[in-house]
Structure 1
Amino acid sequence: MAQLDEFKGAEADALPDTATLPAELAALYLCMSPAQLADLRKSKRPEGRGGNGLSVIRPVEGGSAGSKDPVLYTLGTLREFAKAHPAPSAFDTALNSGLLGWVSVKLPFFAECEPRIKRGKRVLIGGAWDRSDPLREQRFVALAKGRIRFTSLTCAEAAASLWADVASHAAFAEKGLALLKGETQAIEASLAATGQLAAASPQD
């Protein structure tokens, strides 16, 4: 996990720029996969372009060839990178890609550490990729201190999970219900059109 000593004196809702996050959490903070972040650590490629067309982002520790030290990033560096690249992330795209994305693409969610009820159901807190969430920084503090965790789920799995509060669950589930309603309406319209076509066809 992150460097906990640096978080002891941190405010409840913010982390200092000097705090460091390991690569896994740094990637989560930037709304990208660990593989994408690793690509951004590389030196510029021979053709002169950085990984994925973005600027190279350097860790403060680790990452050297053959090094066994964990790769760490300062939060200030991550914040600067996020401000310079505000475009929708792959997670945002998956969320808005229709029913196929809803049921097939896994997204990171903040979750409680232990299940509250039997059967081991997860209790979700919110979308870890949602940069518009005003509580996101506060949740990263809790994540870094081990008070909560994150889990990867499809949107369909998340909507069918338990949530810590009804309003967040309802707002998220609404998107899935709207997608299902749209698909249902499309199928019903096609069935009706098929019936009209059959009725209009000449009978033998």
Structure 2
Amino acid sequence: MKNLKMLLIYVACFSSKLCISQNVQLSGLYISFGTGDVLGYGVGAGMTKDLVKKPRLGLGQFLVGGEMLFETGTKEPKIENTTATEIAYQEPFFRHVSGNTLWAKAVYHPFHKFLKGFHIGIGPTVGYWKRSSEKSAGLRSADDPSSVRESILEFDNGVTVGYRLSGGIDFRISKKVYVGGRMDFSNNQKAEINSSLGLKLGYLMN
């Protein structure tokens, strides 16, 4: 509970930047948790402020801010009419992950005129994650053709800290609105390596 309260405090601190934010962005993500072990999806809501007053060669924009990400994924095994062979030797096993992550980020736009929408971002993360996985499995009745898989699950819930990298490109569709794509990579102290592809929609407040 103490860790969850700390996460909420961090969220409140970054949310206060909204009133001075120049850039508000929403993203939808397709995620590979681990090395493709679990697939899922996520959404992100972020806000940043540009610190560059006059863009120049090698420094189009330099933004700082934060993003809140909500991510989830699951991998489900065959439950009904399964066999002992499928349980013993065949994937998938059951896994589920879901979490809320706060990403404090700096975003660098290296180009002023050519590919001005291209950018890279990096920063630390803190999040609260819930994980469940199959510790072992068996059959309720191995001789019954409608036998059902029985599983013993284990759980790992708690706060994670790590970092996140992102690269992408934006395209203006009006003076204040832009769309784009992004590719992210993240890691944490549990050595959970996740990657994602996504689309985004942004609005420039100034």
Shorter-chain TM-score tier: under 0.3
- TM-score normalised by length of structure 1: 0.22
- Per the normalisation by structure 2, the TM-score is 0.22
More strand by share: 2
